[in-house]
Amino acid sequence: MKTKVEEINRNIYDIKNKDDYDFKIKKGLTREIIEEISAQKGDPDWMREIRLNALEVYNSLELPTWGPDLSELDMNEIATYVRPKSKLNSSWDDVPEDIKNTFDKLGIPDAEKNSLAGVGAQYDSEVVYHSIKEDLIKQGVIYTDMETAVREYPEIVKSHFMKCVPVNDHKFVALHAAVWSGGSFVYVPKGVKVDIPLQSYFRLNSPESGQFEHTLIIVDEGASLHFIEGCSAPKYNKVNLHAGCVELYVKDNAYLRYSTIENWSKNMLNLNTKKAIVGKNAGMDWVSGSFGSKISMLYPMSILNGEGAKTEFTGISFAGAGQNLDNGFKVVHNAKNTSSVVNAKSISKNGGKCTYRSLVRINENAKNSKCSVSCESLMLDDISISDTIPTADVRTDEVEFSHEAKIGKISDQAIFYLMSRGLSEEDAKAMIVRGFAYPISKEFPVEYAVEMNNLINLELEGAIG
Partner 1 sequence: MENNLLEIKNLYVNAEDKEILKGINLNIKKGEIHVIMGPNGSGKTTTANAILNNPAYRKVSGEILLEGENINNLKTDEIARKGVFMSFQLPEEIPGVSVTNFLKYAKNKVTGEPVKIFKFKEELKKYMEQLNMNPKYMERSLNVGFSGGEKKKNEILQMLVLNPKLAILDETDSGLDVDAIKTVSKGIEMFKNENNAVLIITHNTKILNSLKVDYVHVLVNGQIVTTGTQELASKIEENGYSEFKQ
In the complex, the smallest distance separating the C-beta of residue 411 from partner 1, rounded to whole angstroms, is 7
Q: For partner 1, which is the closer residue by CB, 175 or 432? A: 432
Nearer Cβ to partner 1, position 156 or 423? 423
How would you classify the pairing of strands 283-290 and 245-250? Answer: unpaired
List binders of partner 1 among 432-451 (CB under 8 A): 432, 434-439
Per rule CB under 8 A, is residue 463 in the interface with partner 1? no
CB within 8 Å of 9: residues ≥ 6 apart: none
**Residue 76 binds to partner 1 (criterion: CB under 8 A):** no
Touching partner 1, residues 376-415 (CB under 8 A): 411-414
Residue of the chain from 428, 452, 455, 460 that contacts partner 1 (CB under 8 A): 428
Contacts of range 160-164, beta carbons closer than 8 Å, 24 or more positions apart: 160/216, 160/218, 160/247, 160/249, 161/50, 161/214, 161/216, 161/247, 162/50, 162/54, 162/245, 162/247, 163/247, 164/247, 164/248, 164/249, 164/275, 164/276, 164/277
Q: Using the rule CB under 8 A, give the single segment among 1-9, 35-43, 76-84, 427-435 that binds partner 1.
A: 427-435
Q: In whole angstroms, give the CA distance from residue 385 to residue 353.
A: 5
Any contact of residue 422 with partner 1 (CB under 8 A)? yes
| Distance, CA of 151 to CA of 168 (rounded, Å) | 25
Q: Out of 76, 237, 421, 465, name the contact with partner 1 by CB under 8 A.
A: 421
Kindly indicate which of the ranges 93-101, 114-122, 201-209, 424-432 contains the residues binding partner 1, using the contact rule CB under 8 A.
Answer: 424-432
For residue 420, state whether it binds partner 1 (rule: CB under 8 A): yes
Cβ neighbours of 397 (radius 10 Å) = 7
| 359 part of the interface to partner 1, by CB under 8 A | no
Percentage helix, strand, coil for the chain under 3-state DSSP, each rounded to 5? 25, 35, 35
Choose between 73 and 418: whose C-beta lies nearer to partner 1: 418
Residue 430 C-beta: closest distance to partner 1, Å: 10
38 versus 441: smaller Cβ distance to partner 1? 441
Least spacing, CB of residue 6 vs partner 1, in Å: 13
Nearer to partner 1, 376 or 451 (CB): 376
How far is 282 from 301, CA to CA, in rounded Å? 15
- Does 418 contact partner 1 by CB under 8 A? yes
In the complex with partner 1, the residue whose CB is nearer, 36 or 427, is: 427
Find the shortest distance in angstroms from Cβ 419 to partner 1.
4
Choose between 137 and 464: whose C-beta lies nearer to partner 1: 464
Which of 418/450 has CB closer to partner 1?
A: 418
Q: Which residues contact 416 (CB under 8 A, 6 or more apart)?
A: none
CB of 438 to partner 1, least distance (A): 3
465 binds partner 1, rule: CB under 8 A? no
Report whether 131 contacts 118 (CB < 8 A). yes
From 83-91, 164-172, 419-427, 453-461, span contacting partner 1 (CB under 8 A): 419-427
Question: In angstroms, what is the minimal distance from the CB of 456 to partner 1?
Answer: 11
Please tell me the distance from the alpha carbon of residue 51 to that of residue 175, in angstroms, as a whole number.
9
The pairing of strands 245-250 and 295-298 is unpaired
3-state secondary structure 112-141: HHHHCCEEEEEECCEEEEEEECHHHHHCCC
The helices-and-strands tally (H runs, E runs) of the chain is 12, 24
Beta carbon nearer to partner 1, 15 or 405? 405
Is residue 7 a contact residue for partner 1 (CB under 8 A)?
A: no
**219/437 with CB nearer partner 1:** 437
Please give the Cα distance from 42 to 147 (Å, whole number).
9
Cα 159 to Cα 57, 216, 357: the distances in Å are 20, 11, 31
Q: What is the largest CA-CA distance in the chain?
A: 68
Q: What is the DSSP letter of 25?
A: P
Q: How far is the CB of 450 from partner 1 (least distance, A)?
A: 14
Size of the site for partner 1 (CB under 8 A): 24
Near partner 1 by CB under 8 A: residue from 9, 137, 393, 416: 416
Check residue 417 for interaction with partner 1 (CB under 8 A): yes
Least distance from C-beta 275 to partner 1, angstroms?
Answer: 30
**Nearest residue to 328 via CA among 368, 296, 366, 304:** 296
Q: Which is nearer to partner 1, 18 or 421 (CB)?
A: 421
Which SS3 state, helix, strand or coil, does residue 199 take?
A: strand
Answer yes or no whether residue 425 interacts with partner 1 by CB under 8 A.
Answer: yes
* Contact status: 462 vs partner 1 (CB under 8 A): no
156 forms part of the interface with partner 1 (CB under 8 A): no
Nearer to partner 1, 168 or 457 (CB): 457
Q: What are phi and psi of 189, to 5 degrees?
A: -65, 165
Task: By CB under 8 A, name the binding residues for partner 1.
Answer: 411-414, 416-425, 427-428, 431-432, 434-439
